[in-house]
């Protein structure tokens, strides 16, 4: 899911407030990569191959949803419950890596 060579800011990101509308930072691009048979996060210095869960979360980080809406959307799409903690942990990690604003 993550690449140890992916960029990270100097400071760790704080936990994500529920009201934050999440979006990819402008220099990152999420796209399907046929050669990798997976979604990847592209950035000027390279790319990170994502697992399916990470890709599904990041596909929904388009600035229109806060974290609670994102979790509800994922639970509905995948007929799942109780995934909020894992989603919040991933979003916090993605913010720490500088992928989300």
User: Containing domain of residue 53, as a range?
Assistant: 24-96
* Residue 14 domain-assigned (yes or no): no
d(CA 18, CA 66): 6
Model confidence over 37-86: pLDDT tens digits? Answer: 999 999 999 999 999 999 999 999 999 999 999 999 999 999 999 999 99
d(CA 100, CA 23): 6
- Number of domains composing the chain: 1
Strands 46-49 and 62-66: unpaired
* Residue 37 domain-assigned (yes or no): yes
Model confidence over 6-32: pLDDT tens digits? Answer: 444 434 445 666 778 999 999 999 999
* Residue 87 domain-assigned (yes or no): yes
Residue 49's CATH number:
1.10.10.1150
* Residue 61 domain-assigned (yes or no): yes
Give me Rg for the CA atoms of the chain.
Answer: 13
* Residue 9 domain-assigned (yes or no): no
* Residue 6 domain-assigned (yes or no): no
Give, in degrees to the nearest 5, the angle at Cα 23 between 21 and 27. Answer: 155
Q: Is the pLDDT of residue 98 over 50?
A: yes
């Amino acid at each position: 899911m993550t690449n140890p060579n992916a960029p990270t800011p100097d400071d760790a990101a704080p936990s994500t407030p529920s009201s934050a509308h999440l979006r990819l930072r402008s220099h990152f691009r999420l796209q399907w990569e046929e050669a990798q048979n997976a979604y990847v996060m592209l950035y000027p210095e390279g790319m990170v191959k994502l697992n399916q869960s990470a890709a599904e979360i990041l596909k929904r980080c388009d600035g229109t949803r806060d974290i609670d809406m994102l979790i509800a959307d994922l639970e509905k799409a995948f007929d799942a419950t109780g995934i909020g903690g894992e989603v919040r942990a991933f979003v916090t990690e993605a913010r720490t890596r500088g992928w989300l604003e």
